[in-house]
Amino acid sequence: MDWALARSEFPTLQRKTYLNTCSLGALSRRSRAAVNRFLDLWEEHGASAWYRIWLGEVQATREKVARVIGAEPGEVAILPNVSSALAVLGSCGPQAGNVVSAQMDFPTIPYAWMAKPGFEVRLAKSPDGVRTPLEAYEPLVDGETRWVATSHVFYTSGAIQDAAALSRLAHKRGARVLLDAYQATGQLPTNVRELGVDAYVTGGLKWLLGGPGVAFLYVRRELHAELHPALAGWFGHQDQFAFDSASFRPHLNARKFEMGTPATAAVYAASAGLDLILEATPEAIRRRTNALVRDLYERLRDVGYDLATPEDERERAGIVMVRLADPAAAVKALAAEGIIVDHRPGRVRVSPYFYNTELEVERFVDAIRRVAPP
């Protein structure tokens, strides 16, 4: 892979030291061109672009996501964001019992069930704010657990969870597993079948380089006949253009979880981002990102920063967290120097991707030592 060529796809990188992919992937020339193509089609064809072209792009996008995660296209639904995907999935089955998540998960995961009066949400605790060991989930999962819903990569530490081990634990107790892979898809080679998860959510915004407005829900095919969403819309109907208001016949595949008109401009941007990922391949991206993260981690550790990210590189993805007393002030001072990172409570969050360079990592470390010494 020619990483310098890949880097030239992202104009932002010529102006900024952009180390914030875990918040928002950089905009590629390809995504911009794809959105322009969408606008041209709109102008040229008006509504007939729907049938002839746009719905084809939506299907092509489902197919690309399926390739990235090792699923079948019929196992992927497109929704506007992860929260909506959780709402549809969470509406299936008995609306009572418990759901097990981790304290370290992105809040929208537990919120999806906290809002439902019939559910108790149990949060597995982390002893160090970096990982949540399997033993923390163990006592929480019982015969009433409907879902073990947790992250593939934690957004606050970059730690990778052993999703296959979590699936085994949940399945032994009769619970299903939902993996929030927003911080993983694209940067971690993934095969949902090998992970053994029942459902998997992810989105375009970050490591898939697709921008806001699209999320993807994988549900394994064996569950399509079993799960019946209590939320419905015409895109979930087998024959939506029959306009049959008298009966709702859902799709027989994962499209039953879709609801209304997709954000088509966002689908175009995401589809172009997926092309970049498929061309580079998650395997090569993982090797490249890993090398940058190793460099970043070691430089920061060697000058004495307290890092809330696993030391073992097999356990960490493209996020490094630096514990600081005033992370917001550090992020602001770095931005003034053209270095873009972000913060979460008590931590500065740095997330290099394949399009970054060792020089940028060095520039960041030099700058943080000046603005917020260890």
Ligand X SMILES: Cc1ncc(COP(=O)(O)O)c(C=O)c1O
Which residues contact ligand X (rule: CB under 6 A)? 81-83, 106, 108, 151, 155, 180, 182-183, 203, 215
∠ CA(101), CA(221), CA(237), 5° rounding? 100
Residue 79 or 175: the one with the smaller Cβ distance to ligand X is 79
Which CB, 81 or 187, lies closer to ligand X?
81
Q: What angle do CA 73, 26, 189 make, to 5 degrees?
A: 40
DSSP 6-44: HHTT-THHHHSEE-BTTT-PPPPHHHHHHHHHHHHHHHH
CB of 151 to ligand X, least distance (A): 6
Q: Taking the CB of residue 242, how many other CB atoms lie within 10 A of it?
A: 11
Question: Which of 6/266 has CB closer to ligand X?
Answer: 266
* 58: Cβ contacts below 8 Å, ≥ 6 apart: 78, 262, 264, 267
By C-alpha distance, which of 278, 283, 309 is closest to 209?
Answer: 278
Residue 349 CB contacts under 8 Å (≥ 6 apart), including other chains? 20, 22, 23, 156, 319, 320, 321, 322, 341, 342, 343
Pairwise CA distance, residues 306 & 324, whole Å: 8
The distance of Cα 18 from the centroid of its chain, to the nearest Å, equals: 19
**Residues 232, 259 contacting (CB under 8 angstroms):** yes
> Would you call 336 helix, strand, or coil by DSSP?
helix
- Report in angstroms how near the CB of residue 348 gets to ligand X at its nearest: 16
Using CA atoms, how far apart are residues 24 and 29, in angstroms rounded to an integer? 15
Give the shortest CB-81-to-ligand X separation in angstroms.
3
CB of 128 to ligand X, least distance (A): 19
Give min distance, CB of 285 to ligand X, in A: 18
- Pick 17 or 185: Cβ nearer ligand X: 185
Shortest Å distance, C-beta 212 to ligand X: 8
The nearer residue to ligand X, 75 or 180, going by C-beta atoms, is: 180
Q: Is the Cβ of residue 233 or residue 284 nearer to ligand X in the bound state? A: 233
CB of 197 to ligand X, least distance (A): 15
User: Which residues face 98 on adjacent strands?
Assistant: 120, 145
Whichever of 81 and 101 has its CB closer to ligand X, that residue is: 81
